Structure 1
Amino acid sequence: MTPSSGSRRLLVSIPLGRWVADRHRSMADDVLGNPLPSPYRPRQPGGRVAQLRSWASDPMTWRDLGWTLFAVTAGFALSLLVVLLLVIVVTGLLWWYGIEPIMRARCSIDRWFLNHGHTENLEQRVAVLTESRAESLDHSAAELRRIERDLHDGAQARLVALSMSLGMADEMFAHDPEQARKMVSEARATTGAALGDLRDVVRGIHPPVLADRGLSGAVQALALDMGLPVAVTAQLEGRPPAPVESAVYFAVAECLANVGKHAAARHAWVELSHGAGRLVAVVGDDGDGGADPARGTGMTGVMRRLSAFDGTMSVSSPDRGPTIVTLEVPCALSSPKTTPSSGTA
């Protein structure tokens, strides 16, 4: 057998073996519950050699091979035993209840072979944490640059103008007090504008309403500022940790901003809940649909913000809507400091 013919056989046999393994993996998930995602690494670009190299470096390729050896030996014997019991046992009811432990044992072994082992899970976890940490650092650096830019272009520029106006007014008081008073009045207005800029910067870091009223109240405040009716329902029997609360708040704010800018919606809603150790925020609208997270930097920022806390974002947005964005972050709730409210429009 030449090397080229061997590689051609591998290019056919490995995908075929994975297809068979997927069917058994799906059966094991149905029997045992708790479906697991496909464990294979994404297909790598490149030619035949690159693909074979990718398969060879994927631990699941070798776990599939071990499962194949089990399936044609002990696995076949277990399956044959089920058929023999059907032939030997006269009472069908006894056969029905008797095969369950056998099939569960077979599926448990299949799942052990056909999913990542403890080492692979740890490696994947480390890789995900490394990626999310890098994204969080990038996001933090971008936030710092934004704050620096806002301070430089806003409050700092106004304070410089204020200092110049007060200096000129001080020089004019001796020979033109009326003009000096006008300049002091302008300086007072500049002071108010500078304070407004500073409040905007602080609000962008951690909104006071979030600290005072919690996530439910802060999201309701966002809804009231929208140009369309937004219904908010909250079922939170406590408050999440402050960093998680802030991340979810800004994620919801970005989703609502996208609704206002792009959805052409007449109505939107936000649902906040907590269960099974996960904080869930659902943002929906009745707009045109067709939202694609890959096309917008805002949604990418949402995913990065949540990934720092092992959070996830899923988007359902068919043409003609509705668009539903589901945000989930694992966390526990503390004792409530504010009374959650619901039902604003």
Structure 2
Amino acid sequence: MSSPQTTPVAGEPRGAARELRGAAQALGRLAVLTLLIPVGVVLATAFLLSFLLWGCLGMFPLFPAVIRRVRAVAVAGRWAAGHWSQVPVPPPYRPRPALERTLHGWYWTGHDYHRNRWFAGMSLDVRWLWNDPATWRDALWLITDPLVGGGIAAGPVLLAGAGLYGIVQAPLPYDLPFGGLSALLLGLLGPVLVVAGLALARPALRLHGRWTRSLLGPTERSRLARRVEQLTEIRLDATEAQAAELRRIERDLHDGAQARLVAVSLRLGAVAGLIDRDPEQAKRVVTDTQENVTQALQELRDLVRGIHPPVLAERGLAEGVRALALDVPLKVEVRTELPGRAEAPVESAVYFAVSEALTNAVKHGDARHATVHLSHTAGLLRAEATDDGRGGADPGLGSGLRGIRRRLAVFDGTLTLTSPPGGPTRLIMELPCVLSSPRTSSC
């Protein structure tokens, strides 16, 4: 009776190779961070020197120039923490205030007036950088990172380097710098040191990212201040959007339904004089008047649909988007995975955002086919619109995408756009919301 054969798992060697490759990559990144330590030391020395020259000799123009270099290095550190250590570090900097010029030709920096534009801009930069708490956190990180961050990065690199040195020198005569027993022990421990360096590389890289975030990330106070600024911007955008919508409704009523109703009133006045003299002409005028009333009703229905579509209120977002897809002059595939309904304002925002995305696909992208996918996961209502148009969409060139972003921002939503030249164009809209209990569609 033969013994059972064990089948090796096909994914194990590949998984081990992937882990080894990831550890080696992390070790290489730690080596790069270790080699950049002298750059940080030189820049920290320049920062302290510029501060000293400003305080002793009044050479303040050197201070903002050095601070800008410090910020460039800090931005690189945040990038490394986010892309290498997988620890995102958002920038905490305050925006630079604008340099204002008065009617008399003087420049106002927010504190004093200057006649010379260069001197006013330099004074504004110095005051802006000096009053920004992120400047001093960058400086503290720059001074302490060679010790703390450098120690974290250099540990696994030195272990692996010593292990490689031991492996390389083991077959050689023992007249090397370490000599005799030390060289023998290093040769025997070489593989162990290399394995230890590789094993510690990825945890050390993550720890380095957390250390970077502890000093270069935004503080709770700065996050609250930035949140207040965002809410102020959202409030202004919402007010402007509401005013623009009211102006549009007023214009549509004035130019459309109101004009037709005035024409109906005039025609009815003419009918009163024609009933006795020319009944046939009176019938024709009444028929034309009826057509005008029908057109005015249709315009009012279109106006109401533009404010809040009845199908959206009655059947929900999924059926509203399906009805919208039927009116778009291109083939639209709608996929929905919504177990319930969101609040009416959220549904309306997503509905009109999808409508704007499809309109842009027809109007600017020359698309022939589009896909809309609605889903809800992890407390986020997600709407993804993809079309096969020519691509190249840019939020800075048109008001449509900016309008979508403003509409979503009211609900803390986000818009992610991917539109390379040649297409396809992909818009991902996400809004935090909670769905209610499922409802059965009447469709």
TM tier relative to shorter chain = 0.7 to 0.9
Pair 1:36–1:238, CA change in 2 (3 A): farther
- Distance 1:268-1:100 versus aligned 2 partners, 3 A rule: closer
In structure 2, the residue matched to 1:312 is 414
- Matched residue, 1:165: 267
Q: What does residue 63 of structure 1 align with?
A: 137
- The question of 1:268 aligning with 2:370 is answered yes
Deviations 1:271-318 (A, max 9, x none): 222222222222222222222221112222222211111122222222
Which one is further off, 22-31 or 168-177? 22-31
What is the aligned partner in structure 2 of residue 54 from structure 1? Answer: 128
- Residue aligning to 2:68: 15
Q: Would the alpha carbon gap of residues 102 and 312 (structure 1) be closer, same or farther in structure 2, given more than 3 Å must change?
A: closer
In structure 1, what is the equivalent of residue 344 of structure 2? 242
TM-score (norm 1): 0.85
Q: C-alpha deviations, 1:173-207, integer Å up to 9, x for none?
A: 33333332322222222221111111011001001
Q: 1:172 to 1:116 in 2, by over 3 A?
A: same
* 1:88-118 per-position Cα deviation (integer Å, ceiling 9, x unaligned): 9965466766787776555434312111101
What is the deviation of 1:127? 0.3
Change (3 A) 1:145 1:336: same
Cα distance in 2 between the residues matched to 1:338 and 1:32: 47
For residue 283 of structure 1, the aligned residue among 362, 375, 385 is 385
Structure 2: stretches of 5+ with no match in the other structure: 1-52, 100-120, 164-185
Larger radius of gyration: 2
Aligned residues: 341
CA distance in 2, matches of 1:338, 1:280: 21
RCO higher in structure (CA 8 A, sep ≥6): 1
In the alignment, residue 138 of structure 2 is paired with which amino acid? Answer: D
Within 1, Cα distance between the matches of 2:336 and 2:199?
45
What is the alpha-carbon distance in structure 2 between the residues aligned to residue 186 and residue 83 of structure 1? 89
User: Kindly tell me: are residues 231 and 181 of structure 1, through their superposed partners in 2, closer, same or farther at Cα, counting changes over 3 Å?
Assistant: same
> What SS is found at the alignment partner of 1:256?
helix
Q: Quote the Cα distance in structure 2 between the aligned partners of 1:336 and 1:258.
A: 32
Listed one character per residue, the Cα deviations across residues 301-343 of structure 1 (whole Å, up to 9, x for unaligned) are 22221111112222222211112122222212122224599xx
Note the aligned Cα RMSD (angstroms). 3.2
Residues 116-145 of structure 1: per-residue CA shift (max 9 Å, x gap):
101100000010010011010000011011
Residue 217 of structure 1, CA deviation: 1.7
Distance 1:84 1:259, change over 3 A: closer
Residue 259 (str. 1) matches residue 312 (str. 2)? no
Distance 2:123 2:143 in 1: 26
- Unmatched segments (≥5 aa) in structure 1: none
Mean alpha-carbon deviation: is it higher for 86-95 or for 289-298? 86-95
Amino acid at match of 1:38: P
Q: Which moved more, 1:174-183 or 1:148-157?
A: 174-183
- Cα separation, partners in 2 of 1:45 and 1:321, compared to 1, 3 Å: farther
Amino acid at match of 2:250: E
C-alpha distance in 2, partners of 1:80/1:300?
46
From the superposition, tell whether residues 56 and 181 of structure 1 become closer, same or farther in structure 2 (CA, over 3 Å). Answer: same
